[in-house]
Structures are given as structure tokens and as C-alpha cells.
Structure 1
């Protein structure tokens, strides 16, 4: 196996004695392409949903599982996969995840039924969860100092680009291959990229010198199973709302509460018993951390679901082609990409109020989008919503990266990996919950003339999630200000007592 390419640095542990590997930038390119593939599959599939619906005669619930299943499986495997990479070697886990992702993409493209597609998407999500934590860990291993900052900056750019080009690329593929089979190429496009990355990863990625054996309990399989079962029980009554008549399905929410309570109890036991938990509960003693995690879960529930209902409305409701629908929602992604770099520079100066401003912009933008649908009915609605979607995207760029910076600011360095993994898990679980909740409301309103009404109702739920995140951010700002006032008054109280 190849020699480690790590450079000694603050993160330590896998340092190479002979300095940085000259291949590290090429190795980074392999990581970035793989990261691009896994994140592209979050956004590119949205514009393919109407074609999938027609091609496989897919019910509404399965359309939601195509998105929610990927997000949920991705999120559940992030933290265990990070530990597995540290223990068994990041290159090996990266390559295993990449091979599985490529095979699952082929299975998605070849799907002959909606069940086949949903199962393949779940496997694809697991593979994405295996790949993603290795990228961050490999960057820390291969780079140090200012180079590490550059490498993470490039990774952040890739995240923004994958979101922005997803709807457009999906639309172009469907336009070129036709609506009947074009959706299959949304998945097949991963095959040549995955094959080339796999070959280059074997040649260029470094080993993990500290790799050894891993115990099953280090991956916390019980915690993963409890969390997955709890979230699944929470999603089912919403996703299956149209397929399961009657009110009995809502009893699953009681089961979800019981499973999630058992999950928290198990994680508390693991924290005190030496087992590595999926969720490090001691981190939640930090107010900035637990509020930041709650905020981003609620925000991802709101903003991820926007693309889901918007593409369905534009294509199935207004008759837009996949390409035109992709163009119509691109302003959000472009605005988010532009504002993300600005937010990264301003967060140190303004702190959490910057996130509050961003969330307010998102809420206003989504409300403006709903208004645009009413003011410009018919096929012109897609263009009328461009400006409010741009405003919402600009706000989104001031939320995600700044919130991550603020949430992790007080976390000890030796627990940064676990803290970051938990934060990402919250994002993916939030996405799954949001798509399930918004989708259930949207499909309940769809009728022969009800697409615009369904879109309105779906946006109301999305805005509700964003407003809930705004309340959390405002509470954090208020608590921070009260803390500063108490700190400022303490010296005065002490001086008066001395006098």
C-alpha cells in the first residue's frame, strides 16, 4: 500500500516524517470529484421526478422516498463511517464507498419498478455516507496550515457548485435523452466518473498509518438502528398519508417518540460506558452547539423541500420541460453560492445576527415566491418566481456556512470530528423530515386544477420550518446578549461591594 501523504500539523496523528506528498493536490482532486457526485445526487434528481413518475408509474409516496431515503441513509452512516475510516484506513473505506455508489447508481438507472429505485437509492445514500467523512479526514491528513484552509475552501466551492448545476445538468440530460429514458441518465452519469475516480483513488490517496482493527461497538450499531427506526417511524405516516387511509397510521408517531427516547437513553449509557456513541450527548451542554444543531435541522427541513415541490409544480402543474424547470430554480442555487463566500467573511464580525438576517431573507423570499404564483398565473409563474427565489438563495448563503462556524466555535478540537459529523447528520435527517412533511401536504392538495394551491400549501410548511429556525436563532442571539450584560455588570457589582 502507498505511503502516507500526511503533513505534520495541528490535527496530528497521521503525520508523515518525510514531509508533504507531492501528489496531495491530485489526490484532493479525486476527493472533490467524489464529493461532487454524492452531493450532486441530492439536487439533480429533483428535476427527474416527473419523468420517473411517468416512466415507472411511481406513486407519490415512492417519489418522496427517492429523496428522503437517500438523505436518511446518508445521514445515518456519516458518523460510523468516519470512525471506520479512522480505524480501518480512509483510502480503503473511500474506495469501498465509491465502488458501492457507482454500482448503486447503475442499479438506479436500470430500475424497472419504483420499489427497485427506492432500494437502490437507499444503498446509494449509504455509499454517500461512507465517502463524505473520508474527504474531510483526508484533507486534514494531507494538508496543514494555510494549505488546509485552501483545500477546505475548494471543497466548500464544490458543495456550492454541485447544488447550483444539479437542476441544470439534470434538465440537459433529460432534454438530450428524452423524457422516457432521460431520467435514467441522471444516474448513469455517475458511472464513468465513479470508475475513473476509483482507479485514481487507488493510485493517489494515502494510507492511514494509525489504522488497525475496529470493534463493532465502536460503530454503535444499536444507536444507528434506534435512530434510523425512530426517524423512519416519524416519516412513515407523512410519506404514506395518501396510501394509508384512516387515522391509525398516526400511532406511529408514538412509536417514533419511544424509539427516539430509547436512542437518547442508549447514547447516554454509551457516553458513560466507554463505547463510542453516534451522538456525543456531552456536546449538547454547550448552548451554541445544541441550538446550532436544532437550527440547521429545522432549516434543512424547510429549504431542501423547496426544490422537491417547485420542480413538481413547474413540470407536472405548468408543463415545463425538465431543462426549463431547472433554469427556473437555478436563481436560488446561484444566490446561495454567491452569498456563502460573503457569509464566511462576515460571520466573525456579526455572529449569529447574520444568520438571523439570512433566515429572514429566506422566509421573505419564499413568501414572495408564493405571491408570484398568484400574481402571474400560468406558464409565466416560473419566471416571476426567479427574483424571490434569488432573495431566498442569498439568505440561504448567510445561514449554512456561518451557522456551522458558530455552532462548532466552542467545541474542543479533540471532539471536532464527532461534533461536525453530528451536525451533518442533523442536516440529512432534517432533509428527510422536511421532504416527508411538505410532500404529504403538497400531494394532499393536488387535483385537476389544484397544482398552484398544492404549491402554496407546500410552501407554507417550508416557511414554517424556516420560521422555526429563525426563532431558534433569535433565542440564541437573545441569550448571548443577556450573557454579555451579566458579564459586564459583574465587575460593577464587585466594585460596589468592595466600596
Structure 2
């Protein structure tokens, strides 16, 4: 019998790794840590400004710099994990993230903190594609859906609970030093993840030769992603940002041409473009981009409205949006199981619930009209929206990756998550602009109304994509209607 701790991916596919669920728990713990840092820092910004005398620009980079470097390395890290071993890259990412968290917690200046956040983003971008790649590698059939269900719970809860946990830390430690513990809390988690990954995640023995890597593709893709993301995470739009956006799109086009030529020559590109002909992948990636553009904007505008418009403390604002996280946690695991038999219908149902919950929240916000009890008014609608969200993220990821070859799982997951990061940046830019435009006259209710309706419109795009795919899958003779437990269909050349 092959030892599971030294098995190759092919062996693992034939004989499931007995440590796979423990390995998944380790991966999700590290993934939770990196995704939590997307939102937990927001409530600490006023304290950071006071203690480090940070300018508005520096505070912006504390938030957006993390997102920028996170998205920058996703695909390259995923491809490198496919080639050189996902455990190796996972551990490297956790080490980078943990050391960067230590540096952030010890920061003595705003510039120091910004540099640490950039490094944190790199670590997070290395970790996350290894998580989806390891799920592809370790699980098959209905088990894979359940594993992605746990990943969906992790994504939903980490995003929504960040402001709550940040508020609790600031309340317990105090504003003067609480912001440091927002970062330092990652240290024990990171150390534990490194130790447990060495025990439970099997190393890869067969590694691709270095000549099969694609450094030119990595540079082109990285430059293109930065060119597109930079203007989106900038607080104020300037003519230079427009030029960067155009340049970024042109570089991404050059990346596509380069990858196509490399593949035609028989070399190994960073991303095989045939990946987008794998059943379900392109649709899942597009739906994820649209969904995250609306999903991320929900917490952004609600947190702003509750604190700036109604005077809620960071902890109160975090608690007010907790129902969304609770709802998502409940249904993410259910969706992960149901997608194996119900397919795209699970995602469409979830999108309908999210949109219905947000529309109801918008109505009740108007009825509450700025009362201090607004958080109670929106609890039930946000719970409904959270229940829907749990049926979207993990089932869609399962459907997108179900037919992707394990050897390309890291790169495929990196592309998928890059789309999510781009969607998040677009959503915050669009929704935030509409919120500030609506509240410019001092009417916070008008701002939150504009912001929520914008998120509903973005989520409506995701719903349209899901409905079209659902109809296509249900056509007679279409074999994609089968769930993830079915045997994969090879991509067409």
C-alpha cells in the first residue's frame, strides 16, 4: 500500500488520503486568517491614524495595498504550487503572512505599516490558490462539494465577522494598542498552521522542471493585474489612473497572446487558455466576478452608514451585520452537499435569496429612517441574504472547478480568485461612489439606499449569468447537468 504521506497526486486520486479532512481544516484556518484581514483592519483605522499620525492616503494604502498585492500573486502562486508542490507554497505563504503580521503589529510609522500590509497581501495571495488546489487534489465526487462547502463557510464568515472581531479586540485591549493586536492575533494561528501542515499535508515528490515554468507570463500577468487593480483601489480617480487601467488591459491582452504562443510551441504556459473551455469554468469565473462585486459592497456601505450616519461604535456596527455571517455559515455546508445533485439551481436559488434580502433591507432602512434601532430592523433581511450567500460561493466554486484537471487546479483557483478580487475592487469603487454621492447632502439614508440598490444591480448580473447557465445545462443532450460526482468530461481542443 502506498504511504499517504508520500503519495503523488495520482496516487492520492486512486486512494484517498486518510488525513484529507485534517489537512482541509489546516488550510481553511490559514485561509480564514488571510480573508479576515481584508475587513478586520477597517475598524482600527481611526486608532492607527491617531497613534501613527497616518494621513488619509496612508490609511487608504493600509486597506487597498493588501488587496493589490493579494491579487497580484494569486495566479503565479497557484501555477507554482501546481508545478513545485502545494504544501511547499502553502507553508511559504503562511510564513510570509505571519512575519508580515508581526511587522505590522510592531509598526512605528505609517510607512512601516503600509509595507507590512503589502507583504501580508503577498502571503495571502500565495496561500489561497493552494487551498482550492489541495481540495481538488485531496477530494473527489460528493466529498469535494462538501469540502468546498466548508471553504464557502470560511469565505462568508471571515468577510462578515472581521469588523466584529476587530471591534472586540479594540474594546478589550483599548484604542491605543488594540490596533496592534488586530495584526498580532495572527501569530499563534500562523505558527499552528505551519506545524499542522507539516504533519497532515502530504508533500509532492514529482516536481516539474524549472524550464517548464513561465516567468514571462508571470511578469505580464502581474503587470496587467496591477494596472487594472491600482485605479480601482485608489481613493480619488485621476487622469493617471485612467492611463494605468488602459495599460493594464493592454498588458493582459499581451499575456493572452503570449500564453497562446507558448502553448502552441509545446511549452507549459502559466494558464492554459483551454482551461476556459472546460465545462462550467468560464461561467463560474464570470459569475464569481459579478457576485463578489456586489457581495463585498454590502459590508462596505453598511459599515459606513452605521458608523458615520448613525454613530454606531465599531463593535456595534460589526454586530449589526453579524446575521449575514450566521446565515452564510448555516447554508454554506448545505449548499456544498446539495450542489452534487442539484447543480446550478442551488446557486440561482441563493442569488434570489440574497437579492430579496437586500431589497427588504433597503425598504426597512427607509422605514427606520436613521433611528438608533436600525440594526434590529435589518437583522432579519441580512439573515435572509446571508442564507442565500451560503448557497452561492461554495457551490459556484465547486461547479467551476469540477472538471478542471488536478494538475492545473492551483492556476485555475488563482484565476478564479483573481476575478473575485477584481470584482471586489470594482464593487467597492462603484457602490462607494454612489453611497458618497447620495450622502453628500448630509442624508445618510439616501446614501445607503443608493449603495444597496447598486449592489442589487451587480448581483442581478450574477443572477442573469446563473439563469442562462441553468437553462443551458437543462437542455436535452447536455451532459453538464450532472453534479460534481459525475465523471469529468475532457475539454474540447
- Would you say same fold, with TM above 0.5? yes
Q: Do the aligned residues in 2 keep the contact of 1:68 with 1:431 (CA within 8 Å)? A: no
Q: Give the aligned partner of residue 251 of structure 2.
A: 259
* Comparing 431-440 and 139-148, the one that deviates more: 139-148
Structure with bigger RCO (C-alpha 8 Å, 6+ apart): 2
The count of corresponding residues between Structure 1 and Structure 2 is: 478
Root-mean-square deviation over aligned CA pairs: 3.7
Q: Give the aligned partner of residue 12 of structure 1.
A: 10
Unaligned runs of 5+ in 1: 488-499
Q: Do the aligned residues in 2 keep the contact of 1:300 with 1:431 (CA within 8 Å)? A: yes
Q: Give the aligned partner of residue 285 of structure 1.
A: 277
Question: C-alpha separation between the residues in 1 aligned to 2:132 and 2:169?
Answer: 30
Q: Give the aligned partner of residue 343 of structure 1.
A: 335
Among residues 312, 328, 331, which one is paired with 2:320 in the alignment? 328
Among residues 96, 99, 115, which one is paired with 2:95 in the alignment? 99
Among residues 283, 287, 295, which one is paired with 1:303 in the alignment? 295
Q: Give the aligned partner of residue 459 of structure 2.
A: 466
Relative distance call for 1:45 and 1:272 in structure 2 (3 A) is: farther
Relative distance call for 1:278 and 1:213 in structure 2 (3 A) is: closer
Q: Do the aligned residues in 2 keep the contact of 1:47 with 1:325 (CA within 8 Å)? A: no
Q: Give the aligned partner of residue 384 of structure 1.
A: 377
Q: Give the aligned partner of residue 44 of structure 1.
A: 40
Report matched runs for 1:217-228 at 5 Å: 218=213, 220-228=214-222
The alignment status of 1:477 with 2:470, answered yes or no, reads yes
TM-score normalised by L of structure 2: 0.82
SS state at 2:175 partner: coil
Question: C-alpha separation between the residues in 2 aligned to 1:465 and 1:342?
Answer: 25
SS state at 1:276 partner: coil
Report matched runs for 1:108-123 at 5 Å: 108-123=104-119
Q: Do the aligned residues in 1 keep the contact of 2:288 with 2:420 (CA within 8 Å)? A: yes
Q: Give the aligned partner of residue 427 of structure 1.
A: 420
Question: C-alpha separation between the residues in 2 aligned to 1:142 and 1:284?
Answer: 23
Q: Do the aligned residues in 2 keep the contact of 1:164 with 1:330 (CA within 8 Å)? A: yes
Larger radius of gyration: 1
Unaligned runs of 5+ in 2: 481-493
Deviation string for 1:295-344 (max 9, x for gaps)? 10111111012222222222233221221111111111111111212222
TM-score normalised by L of structure 1: 0.81
Report matched runs for 1:44-83 at 5 Å: 44-52=40-48, 55-56=51-52, 63=59, 65-83=61-79
Report matched runs for 1:126-137 at 5 Å: 126-136=122-132
The alignment status of 1:371 with 2:363, answered yes or no, reads yes
Q: Do the aligned residues in 1 keep the contact of 2:146 with 2:336 (CA within 8 Å)? A: no
Relative distance call for 1:152 and 1:468 in structure 2 (3 A) is: closer
Question: C-alpha separation between the residues in 1 aligned to 2:58 and 2:435?
Answer: 14
The alignment status of 1:34 with 2:33, answered yes or no, reads no
Q: Do the aligned residues in 1 keep the contact of 2:160 with 2:321 (CA within 8 Å)? A: no
SS state at 1:378 partner: coil
